[in-house]
Structure 1
């Protein structure tokens, strides 16, 4: 939480002071006072230049207001806004909304002003929204402390947005759709209170059934994950996320950085936190409506009843594109449908009751489908016909959902004809869509939330490691001015228990021969230089070197490196045990430190294919053993690790442990900015890290 103040006072105040209130037409101060006309509490205008505002007594400052003020809305110019907030804090106000713009969004001067605002809020322990905020509203108290043109209908959705303009558009649209809200907050610049604060507040609010958000970024990624993970166990959170940071584009020095940019970090964070991500506004409210009104499905198997074959096929296709599946009916259900449906009807899923179906036929088919133990949820589709009364059909659907306690969504397709039926369905919490694909997506969101609520949280994996040895390796590199490390950092992996082949780094031919003698068989030799990243491209790697050729190979590799880059720092040559890469599958295990969320782990198919196939999965570290297993499961190439086409299965427990150990390493050391283990060879006997590359920030050590 960014403030210890009670955020509840923002939405349930008894007295609201509008600092900067005025009657001037077209002004924000006037709009806010007017929007508060229906507020159930008291509105107190504050403006030293006026005696009254719209008939209400006006005070020169907050300190002059008799009694307590629960919420102050600041709409004065930016040059005096910080002073106005300070005066509110001195007067004992604990909740402040700064509508005034002209802060960090405007440049260095505004950023300095915002820093001063943050300091004042900390000094007086203020629950402060903004600056640059549209305001807040809460329907139970008829509180509309915004300068938007529309109020909200009452409802059980609570909504936060970084864009004030988005709120005005959403409220206008939602009013037409009959969608209501409990609370709405425009986050503005999030100088004090941010998305995590409001998630925590609404978690404890029994009147909020679903939390919605429009976010352009997250202030504290770790706090967001931890908070949202707690909230989503009981309250669904649906978010539209727009905008991208430059982290992905700038992280060009590693495979992981290139593939796992900031957008991947948000995807991973939402997944780990249990947040349902919507891609657009339509999905945001489609998901909200299903999560707000429908029971959770016991299974992901969908039954479809339709009087129109085409839309039924469309629904089936949409189910195939989702995580859901079409239900296979029991023999009893098929017998019932065969006995009660016309010969022309299709009794298999999707059930087509054909175009001349009346209400009774719909009811019979729907009863049979919902009674089937293999059906977890249902979609009822109808095109308009002369024999179907949509309002009667809507009432029948609502009755059956109550009887069977299984989620049903409707596609009563049409225009004005469908509107009264949609109202009947809406009163029962059943959404109605024109497009069958939207119906499927809304059921998919229910299934996602059900899985989130049934999760058992696992603490991050923890291993016995040699943290001090790892610190020494990183500190030694920093002391010599190195920021990019290669195979000379293999001991770092060893310190954290990631298996590595036997190897040594040597600085003359004789030492190379001695090192090779201690390793049975042929060896691999690699140039060790922080300045030469792609060593194989310049002939800096020799594979299968016989003992007799080690000294000459040493000289050859050094000569190639000097010719390629005369000023490169050469730390020597690595002499490494020869590993048969054909005995397993080459994977990549890496990390890129995201500016919002911290260490972003990546696992996938490695070797030369990593950038071509990009078959990878990501999570925010630290991860649990379960999450490490999910990273493996999500790969399209997972069958390669599990013995596809006669291959020997890899040791998945060893893979999960390697992911967990790397997770612990990059969590322990903020100085590691990027890290690639590529390849990490996965075999039936375990894993081995054959190469490593990392970037460090010496200032973090």
Structure 2
């Protein structure tokens, strides 16, 4: 265990605000500790002589040997709580749990008090949980320093929650399902200790098999990714994430900002951390049960053994709805099944041993299937019949799973008659369900975590770029006090080696003609104004302009911009080589800077389709080559890039390099808040950035 070991395994706990008043928080916390804690409980309350037969002390400093107290649980009003935390630090108590509410969740005055708490914790190097916390629990030591109504059963799951009410509900829910816990923490306001601290602690804890979390936000996204990505190589972390930040909800300055908002950022961050993300409480504990009870598969091929054809088909459909696949049974397996099963049975996957099967037939078929080298996981599914005992089947399934070491989930499609069998399976670590889809989903969670464990850590490539040239582009924007840039910043892409069409931004018609003549053909012309974002909407873009018409088109574009917005800053007109867009696929590559996780990189189908389909993939920057390639393969439109319906395959290596170079730009310049390159035209010959829009934080320059 790490630096929080004495928080979860203390010898002495002091309760500041201990009480025996019925219905009070002080009574609940003190009562739990007196009843269950295996160490010494000390009561602090200057207004009482005794509480629950404990002698009361006036303060922490008045305790006998206060420096030997491991944990102080603070229950007093907020203004006194700050004093108690400081006193804990002064007498040498290393861990403080502040249950008291009335801090940052209660307005500016409470926020100021919370800053005082954090300052005291920093001064004395305290491990501080809360404030506004339900408390902490640890079953090995009998520690229940909470006001929850019940204590959890012992187990190997450690659980953190940003909601105290969620903790109480989950403990009650889990007790019915025979799920036990090692440690439980209500994070509260996370003034000092946050989710990263507990993930790190439990990753070092040999008695924690699975870490679960309910999170509404992450205090420091980059730190969380760094910590969790180390922990998840050995210990699975499963999280329910709720809530959306204001930044994510309002980010609409660019397509990338709108589509890589808060929830997408959390998705990218949790993925980078190797965290399994689920959407519901049921999924959270399904994941916990299977990850704590079953071995990881060596392949994602599922075998189904059932006594009912219809539910077997349902299970097959459920497999088809996931990233798993049905196992192809070997010839030897099918031959053995043919010999052992009656004539009406199905010896192919799903294996249907038909409805009159006794447990012995189930056992033989399951034994044969689990021995097949092509089978990575199995679902054993049974409906009630007069010839089958669920209890006997559960016992056989437990033995066979242990013998073969193949991960298994059971589906017992019955009611009261399945309860004893379900308990037998649960005690052996085999999850069981009524719904076949849940069984399959739990196996998919195993496969997902197996993939996480096998990930190779790849370092992002470092490209040879001209940072000074790029900085000069951004400095010019700062000098003009401009936060939004368009095609006038294409030089930024050139500086980072991202291919762009030949052309330039000019501020008079004669220069426009000269640039057009250099391109040697028809050109695209766009009015350049940081105040006009959607230039095509106001007629600010002309495509396929012959050299002889360039001068007149220049004047027309500027006039349209002045007429649309008289006070707009017009920097000139971009004259650009005309690309044959129809010969390629329009994609988008973008940057969005998230307040929790920092820069994100987005890739997807571009052009006008980006608004219609929102077919995109998001990763944290910097993006390694392997991740960039996965982004190009992970969108629904990936077949277009590979050459669907007779189209030439695009240069995926070129696209991957554009993603990598833009990722480097995002990490090199924190002042870039959002950036769209839309479209990036991908052809068989390469990828070319045609248009640009970006937003700057001038204070960061």
Calculate the TM-score normalised by the size of structure 1. Answer: 0.98
Residue number in structure 1 paired with 2:432: 432
- Matched residue SS, 2:386: coil
Does the 8 A contact of 2:10 with 2:71 survive in 1?
A: yes
Structure 1 unaligned spans of 5+: none
Q: 1:6 aligns with which of 3, 16, 32?
A: 3
- Matched residue SS, 2:474: helix
Does the 8 A contact of 2:61 with 2:87 survive in 1?
A: yes
Distance verdict in 2 for CA 1:5–1:369, change over 3 Å? closer
- Matched residue SS, 1:349: coil
Aligned-pair CA distance for 1:535: 0.9
- Matched residue SS, 2:433: coil
Does the 8 A contact of 1:5 with 1:126 survive in 2?
A: no
| Whole-angstrom CA distance in 2 between matches of 1:460 and 1:200 | 25
Residue number in structure 1 paired with 2:47: 49
Residue number in structure 2 paired with 1:386: 386
Does the 8 A contact of 1:602 with 1:617 survive in 2?
A: yes
Q: 1:28 aligns with which of 25, 28, 36?
A: 25
- Matched residue SS, 1:607: coil
- Matched residue SS, 2:432: coil
Residue number in structure 1 paired with 2:81: 81
> Aligned ranges for residues 445-594 of structure 1 at < 5 Å?
445-594=445-594
CA displacement 1:508-542 (0-9 Å, x = unmatched): 11111122222222211110000111111111111
Residue number in structure 2 paired with 1:96: 96
Aligned-pair CA distance for 1:413: 2.3
Q: Is 1:61–2:59 an aligned residue pair?
A: yes
Aligned-pair CA distance for 1:460: 2.4
| Whole-angstrom CA distance in 1 between matches of 2:467 and 2:186 | 44
Aligned-pair CA distance for 1:507: 0.9
CA displacement 1:585-609 (0-9 Å, x = unmatched): 1100012221211112110010111
Does the 8 A contact of 1:530 with 1:569 survive in 2?
A: yes
> Aligned ranges for residues 68-147 of structure 1 at < 5 Å?
68-147=68-147
Residue number in structure 2 paired with 1:638: 638
> Aligned ranges for residues 339-354 of structure 1 at < 5 Å?
339-354=339-354
Aligned-pair CA distance for 1:427: 2.4
- Matched residue SS, 1:157: strand
- Matched residue SS, 2:379: strand
Residue number in structure 1 paired with 2:12: 15
Aligned-pair CA distance for 1:583: 2.2
| Whole-angstrom CA distance in 2 between matches of 1:116 and 1:580 | 63
Does the 8 A contact of 1:5 with 1:125 survive in 2?
A: no
Moved over 6 A (4+): none
> Aligned ranges for residues 267-416 of structure 1 at < 5 Å?
267-416=267-416
Aligned-pair CA distance for 1:146: 0.5
Aligned-pair CA distance for 1:307: 0.8
Aligned-pair CA distance for 1:5: 9.0
| Whole-angstrom CA distance in 1 between matches of 2:100 and 2:609 | 52
Residue number in structure 1 paired with 2:647: 647
| Whole-angstrom CA distance in 2 between matches of 1:112 and 1:462 | 44
- Matched residue SS, 1:274: coil
| Whole-angstrom CA distance in 2 between matches of 1:471 and 1:58 | 65
Does the 8 A contact of 2:306 with 2:380 survive in 1?
A: yes
Aligned-pair CA distance for 1:482: 0.6
Does the 8 A contact of 1:522 with 1:578 survive in 2?
A: yes
Q: CA RMSD in A?
A: 1.2
Aligned-pair CA distance for 1:277: 1.1
Residue number in structure 2 paired with 1:158: 158
- Matched residue SS, 1:430: coil
- Matched residue SS, 2:519: coil
| Whole-angstrom CA distance in 2 between matches of 1:175 and 1:607 | 53
| Whole-angstrom CA distance in 1 between matches of 2:647 and 2:172 | 59
Aligned-pair CA distance for 1:246: 2.4
Which stretch of the first structure deviates more once superposed, 171-180 or 141-150? 171-180
Aligned-pair CA distance for 1:493: 1.1
Calculate the TM-score normalised by the size of structure 2. Answer: 0.98
Distance verdict in 2 for CA 1:229–1:5, change over 3 Å? closer
| Whole-angstrom CA distance in 1 between matches of 2:478 and 2:603 | 27
Aligned-pair CA distance for 1:416: 2.4
Structure 2 unaligned spans of 5+: none
Q: How many residues align?
A: 698
| Whole-angstrom CA distance in 1 between matches of 2:84 and 2:427 | 45
- Matched residue SS, 1:374: coil
Does the 8 A contact of 2:2 with 2:204 survive in 1?
A: no
Does the 8 A contact of 1:5 with 1:127 survive in 2?
A: no
CA displacement 1:413-451 (0-9 Å, x = unmatched): 222221211222122211111111110010000000000
